[in-house]
Amino acid sequence: MFLPSFRFARTNVKVLSRRFIQAQAAEKQAFLKPIESHPGVWGLALNRPQSKNAISVALLQQLRECLETVLYDKSVRVLILHSTAAGSFCAGADLIERRSMTQVQVNKFLADLRDALGKLEALPMPTIAAIDGPALGGGLEMSLACDLRVAGHDVTKIGLPETGLGIIPGAGGTQRVTRIIGPSRAKDLIFTARSLTASQALDWGLVNYVSDPDSTGFHRALTLADTMTRNAPLALRAAKQAVSRSEDLALEAGLDFERATYETLLKTEDRLEALSAFKEKRKPLFKGE
């Protein structure tokens, strides 16, 4: 009788622990969570559904904490930035909260936002923004700090509306969008303050994929992440580093950096596993070692 009771108690502890973690996550405005049905894929969830995930001081602080945590977690092979609520992504800064802030507080918020998006961009693993609703201003800027962007087919508001509010994009929008779609289209997007639909954003090169009509941006992002996690984690990180540095280096220096990065992978366990798997005509089992 004791053993079954013990097992029952242990099961209850696990259930209660899981519920406690879920309850804590529900109270957070930004949190990390593994996508259990997709090994190696984690979500960085934005969780202010009542305001379409407008960036508040609290959300920004919790986002920064998540980025600090995931930076050192080698079990995360791909990170998807997404909303917990259907039909949402991030509508930009919380303008209602902004009205009550002093100029000093605004300056700190902007500095913290720049720092957070810089850390998001610099994460070592591939990152995907799953855009299932308005991505405006700071929300689009957040997605631009990810490696890839996937939009839901029915999204109609993707843009940088700041000039219509008397300002300009202030969290990297003028810089990152120009690097992604080129200066001419970046000027068009910013000067007109227009909003693009998902299909228009795809045509402009602002997003990389659009979901099928019977799916969502998040589910399309999961499919994309799965194609990445089949590959060697160390190679993914090395490839991201080499590609990201290409913008800052002259061609010859970039080629030298690529070769140096390539050399670090030759003696890894994953490289040896890939060679063995090829010889044995089977799929490799990568461990990130």
**Token representation of residue 70:** 């995931």
Alpha helices in the chain (DSSP H): 2-27, 57-71, 95-99, 103-122, 138-144, 173-181, 183-192, 198-204, 217-229, 233-245, 251-263, 269-280
Q: Are 173 and 162 in contact (CB under 8 A)?
A: yes
**Is the CA virtual torsion 73, 88, 216, 24 positive or negative?**
positive
Indicate the residue type of 95: L
**DSSP for residue 156:** -
CA pair distance 254, 252, nearest whole angstrom = 5
**How far apart, in Å, do the first and last CA atoms of the chain sit?**
45
Residues annotated as catalytic are 93, 138, 141, 162
The residue with tokens 């994309």 is 224
Give the pairing of strands 41-46 and 30-34. Answer: antiparallel
